[in-house]
Amino acid sequence: QVLFALNQTLLQHESLRAGSLQAPYTTEDLIKHYNCGDLNAVIFNHDTSQVPNFINTTLPPHEQVTAQEIDSYFRQELIYKRNERMGRRVMALLRENTDKSFFFAFGAGHFLGNNTVIDILRQAGFEVEHTPPGQPI
């Protein structure tokens, strides 16, 4: 699976560089939506955020299964479990220090798909507020 993932990533980058494949969004798009707090944008959507994108309908069926397994693994390990750990850490700090105020900043990866850090905190009953760039806290 590691070799398959590496080969697919390299092929994808070669296709992007050659111009035969278009990225669904640019890094600048990601930064713009993140800075604007537009976390409902398609760029952060569960179905379109493949991290990395191994799903390719031109692959033979047995390789499509491998691609789906790798995609699921990355989604579970790199997104969901990481967000759960981060959410638990934030909740522990808040619960242990009820007399203090906190400011938390997260990278864009914590807002991809479902089960984001914000989702985890809100499900636990916390109120989460986004502060746009340039706004006083």
User: Which pLDDT value is given to residue 89?
Assistant: 95
**pLDDT band at residue 34 using 50, 70 and 90 as cut-offs:** low
Cα separation of 12 and 8, whole Å? 6
Indicate if the pLDDT at residue 130 is higher than 50: yes
Cα separation of 92 and 45, whole Å? 28
Domain boundaries, the chain: 1-124
- By residue count, the chain amounts to 137
Mean pLDDT for the chain? 76
User: Which pLDDT value is given to residue 51?
Assistant: 45
* Spatial contact of 39 and 111, defined as CB atoms under 8 Å apart: yes
What 70-75 contacts at long range (C-beta under 8 Å, 24+ apart), as own/partner pairs, is: 70/1, 70/4, 70/5, 73/1, 75/51, 75/113
Averaged pLDDT, 3-22: 76
